Amino acid sequence: MNIYLVQASDNHGPNKFLPLAIAYQWCYGKNNDWTLKDVLIEKIEPKDYVATMQQPELVAMSSYVWNWEYNRELAKQIKRKFRQCKIITGGPQINKYDPDFFDKHPMFDAFIHGEGEEAFKSILAGDNWTTIPNVQTLYHMPEPAVRRKNINNIPSPILEGFYEPIMAKYPKDTMWQVTWESLRGCPYHCSFCDIGESYWNKLTLFDMERCRAEIEWMGKNRIEYVSVCDSNWGMLDRDYELTEHVIATKKKYGYPMWWDATWSKNNLDKNYAIAKAAYDSGENIFKGITVALQSFNKNTLDIVERFNLDFDTLKTYFDKYKADNIPTYSELIWPLPGETFESLKSGVQQLIDAGQENYLMIHPLVITDNSPMGNKAYQKKHGLDVRKIALDTVYLGADEKYITEYTDVVYATATADHETVIEGHMYAWLTILMYYYGWGHYIAKYMRKHGVLETDLFIDLMEWIKENKQSLLYKEYSKTKQSFNNQRKNTEDD
């Protein structure tokens, strides 16, 4: 029987993404009854790809916000040509709480909730789908998914040789990106995050020897970029050991070139030790160290179940990073529930005062169905007006065919109406442009010496821009604001 695996990503030029989620499923569940015909990693035109398929009995897809509409269209095209083919999908995009999910997505035959390895193995073994935990069918909604206790019995796609046939299909100079994890889970409950729900609250760890062997493979196979799935790099002592092994591997092979980690939220001492070891080694594997705060507003932090370290501790570590010439990067999210324009402005000022001189990103708040914030009761309680808009794809070439993907964005909250939300985005744009891209950085520093806060200066500048419509800054301001408004008007129903 023929099976096809799908974990498609957008075209990022010469970089290609090796899939992890769908690889786990196959390596754990495969048996001799099935022949793996192909693994699709790029968004090939669905009709063109279906024309190459050879009598598929089963197609398994990994789905998230960046490939959900593509997967839906591909599934439709497969069903048109191969009516008996079964199509299953899992991943963070699958709403685990919606019993009517099939009514909205009838092109699929089953959805897998949560970790999917056991369910996928049972499906390949021929078990009755309605008896398999974690599997939702048209007539069966499963009990809430339960985490697996041991992940070390899941074979490593890297060490199993899963990736070599995929890589062999591409030119030798292809630059490869690996998605990798040393553990699963997160101890925090941030309500805006996919893994903030209690399902993911316990950590399960892959063995260190396995992790080291996988890193060694990355070096030997000239993997340029590693995207680490761990949610808190630096939280565990072993992260220091693994970083040392990455550094040693890069010294040996020249690869992996970049180690892109999501840093631990509140373990700044361990984060700093890891960062210093990397930079002192001469092998710059980190592009920067993230110090993510998301908000400084106490009410907001209580609502989203998050806590930050105190200001003095943050300043101490920003000073250490600066003294060692280690770049840092910070994040805020706008508009989190409870946040106001004034609290956003105050949060930016606190970051500046703490010593964040390198870079700040203020992300728009987006909602995923399986996050605590995706719960409709939560949204109603905090006045979240959530709307589905087109996903940002500015990295794609204008001549590329593209199936539009969508994301749920917060249009307004109980403490920030839509006009205020847009004003906050514009203030974020101007502050980052002037202070962190450097156009007004030293002017702001000069004015601070004369008693004017940086954030107040940018408020005054924004008002000046609005009044001086012949200026270059107004043209940029106007285009940027129009882009925000257009994006939020470009909904799935349009």
**pLDDT tens-digit map of 470-483:** 999 999 999 999 98
pLDDT at 266: 82
Give the pLDDT of residue 395.
54
Q: Tell me the mean pLDDT in the region 213-230.
A: 96
Instruction: Note the pTM of the prediction, 2 decimals.
Output: 0.93
Residue 493 predicted with pLDDT over 70: no
User: What is the three-state SS of the chain?
Assistant: CEEEEEEEECCECCEEEECCHHHHHHHHHCCCCCEEEEEEEECCCHHHHHCCCCCEEEEEEECCCCCHHHHHHHHHHHHHHCCCCEEEEECCCCCCCCCCHHHHCCCCCEEECCCCHHHHHHHHCCCCHHHCCCEEECCECCCCCCCCCCCCCCCCHHHHCCHHHHHHCCCCCCEEEEEECCEECCCCCCCCCHHHCHHHCCCEECCHHHHHHHHHHHHHCCCCEEEECCCCECCCHHHHHHHHHHHHHHHHHCCCCEEECCECCCCHHHHHHHHHHHHHHCCCCCCCEEEEEECCCHHHHHHCCCCCCCHHHHHHHHHHHHHCCCCEEEEEEECCCCCCHHHHHHHHHHHHHHCCCCCEEEEECEECCCCHHHCHHHHHHCCCEEEEEECCCCCCCCCCCCCCCEEEEEEEECCECHHHHHHHHHHHHHHHHHHHCCCCHHHHHHHHHCCCCHHHHHHHHHHHHHHCCCCHHHHHHHHHHHHHHHHHHCECCC
Per-residue pLDDT, averaged over 112-141, amounts to: 95
pLDDT tens-digit readout, 142-173: 999 999 999 999 999 999 999 999 999 999 88
Q: Mind listing the pLDDT tens digit for each residue in 367-414?
A: 999 999 999 999 999 999 999 998 876 555 555 678 999 999 999 999
pLDDT in tens, 420-446: 999 999 999 999 999 999 999 999 999
pLDDT tens per residue, range 460-473: 999 999 999 999 99
Instruction: Indicate the pLDDT class of residue 257, thresholds 50, 70 and 90.
Output: very high
pLDDT mean over 166-189 = 94
Average pLDDT, the chain: 94
Q: Could you give the domains of the chain?
A: 2-136 (3.40.50.280), 288-494 (no CATH)
- The confidence score (pLDDT) of residue 265 equals 86
Q: What percent of the chain has pLDDT over 70?
A: 97
